[in-house]
Amino acid sequence: MLILGIDTSCDDTSAAVVEDGDRIISNIVSGQADTHAKYGGIVPELASRMHIERIMPVVDEALRSAGISLKDLSAVAVCHGPGLIGSLLIGCSFAKAVCYAAGIPLVAVNHLEGHLLSAFLEEPKPEFPFLSLVVSGGHTSLYAATDYGQYRELGRTRDDAAGEAYDKVSKILGLGYPGGPVIDRLAAEGDPGAIDFPRAYLPESLDFSFSGLKTAVLNFVRRQGAGAGRAGKTEAREALEPRLIRDIAASFQSAVIDVLVRKTEAALQQQGLTRVVLSGGVSANSGLRKAMIEMCRQKNIGVFIPSIALCTDNAAMIAAAGYHRFAKGECAGPGLNPKPYLPL
Ligand code: KG4
Ligand code: ZN
């Protein structure tokens, strides 16, 4: 069974063809980072306009490289939230039109379920039950996953998501958008013990908090005499020694990783689970991948982390999640509306 997946939740226009929920036939992602980088973050109106321009060629390319046409599809799965309302609207409207024209069913997929199930697109696949840590630009949550569609949230961020903290710290340091990949790269050359940034462990809870850490970085940078931090004011890169920027990146990253790994360990223990699935854009982070694998090795826990292209936003994960919804007969109608704050 072939499903066309579509994701336009944020700043990536993506379409994919997936067979039987776990075999990627094509997976096309057209990113917009270069456009948004000028503004230090995503400009929602620009994102929607670029989705409009790109959705048709991206879907065409997904079908063409899969060597199929619309008549070969069993359904279209589209991400209907959470995400930016204008961006989601483009994907949803386009998917509805394709389904109407081809006379095939439409399936609505939660973006977070897509991330959570992305590990099923590769071998070895995890088995239920497992602990899922979804860590992206918009979310940082722990779930107990007991079956397809059966997810219980154990904890979530109370303020910034981890990816959001990466992007904001990058802006403070004048390193551009998105912040994750550049901080990851600089951190590898810096000293993670150079600056003792705070770690919010929130004892007794599996929730996260990253805004205090972000503010600590901002205050540290200001104390160095660099007037960074306000929108557009990114003199830090010029005012700070490159060595210090690398140490700030490494120390910040080490604080984020410590909290993510320690909380995952606590959740595993609390739930008596023996498998972890790590996904979402921040799971592309080299330090986090290493630290999570090491913790799991020590505790004899099975760990599943998708390859980088499946960690960040992609439509293959939407098609995969859509397959399991479709198998249960969960189809959407032409009245489907995007929901920016859709919970999982
Ligand atoms: O999952 P994703 O592509 O989109 C959302 O659903 O939010 O995640 C994007 C986030 C951004 O905040 C970006 O800075 C972060 O993932 N990211 C990383 C890395 N690559 C992307 N964060 C840390 N290290 C990375 N290597
Ligand atoms: Zn995402």
- Confidence at residue 226, expressed as pLDDT on a 0 to 100 scale: 72
Task: Provide the 3-class DSSP secondary structure of residue 268.
Answer: helix
Work out which ligand 1 atom sits closest to the CA atom of 161. Answer: 12
- Distance, CA 299 to ligand 1 centroid (Å)? 27
Q: Name all domains of the chain by residue range, CATH numbers in brackets.
A: 2-119+313-327 (3.30.420.40), 124-305 (3.30.420.40)
pLDDT band at residue 228, thresholds of 50, 70 and 90? low
- Distance, CA 238 to ligand 2 centroid (Å)? 32
Residue whose Cα lies nearest atom 8 of ligand 1: it is: 281
Mean pLDDT calculated for residue range 21-44: 94
For residue range 74-85, what is the model confidence (pLDDT) as tens digits?
Answer: 999 999 999 999
As to burial, measured by CB atoms within 10 angstroms (0-12 exposed, 13-18 middle, 19+ buried), residue 69 is: exposed
First to last CA, the chain: 25
Angle at 304 between CA 150 and CA 91, to 5 degrees: 60
Enumerate residues 6+ apart whose C-beta is below 8 A from 196. 251
Query: Which ligand number lies closest to the CA of residue 281?
Result: 1
What φ, ψ does residue 21 adopt, rounded to 5°? 80, -10
- Distance, CA 319 to ligand 2 centroid (Å)? 14
Mean pLDDT calculated for residue range 337-343: 97
Query: Which ligand number lies closest to the CA of residue 283?
Result: 1
Ligand 1, CB cutoff 6 Å, lining residues: 10, 136-138, 163, 166-167, 178-181, 184, 280-282, 284-285, 312-313
Task: Provide the 3-class DSSP secondary structure of residue 126.
Answer: coil
Work out which ligand 1 atom sits closest to the CA atom of 312. Answer: 3
230-to-140, 227, 239 alpha-carbon distances in Å: 25, 8, 15
Tell which residue, 194, 198, 282, has the closest CA to residue 240.
Answer: 194
Residue whose Cα lies nearest atom 2 of ligand 1: it is: 281
Task: Using the predicted structure, report yes or no on whether residue 238 has a pLDDT greater than 80.
Answer: no
- Distance, CA 257 to ligand 1 centroid (Å)? 14
- Distance, CA 115 to ligand 2 centroid (Å)? 7
pLDDT band at residue 17, thresholds of 50, 70 and 90? very high
Task: Using the predicted structure, report yes or no on whether residue 283 has a pLDDT greater than 80.
Answer: yes
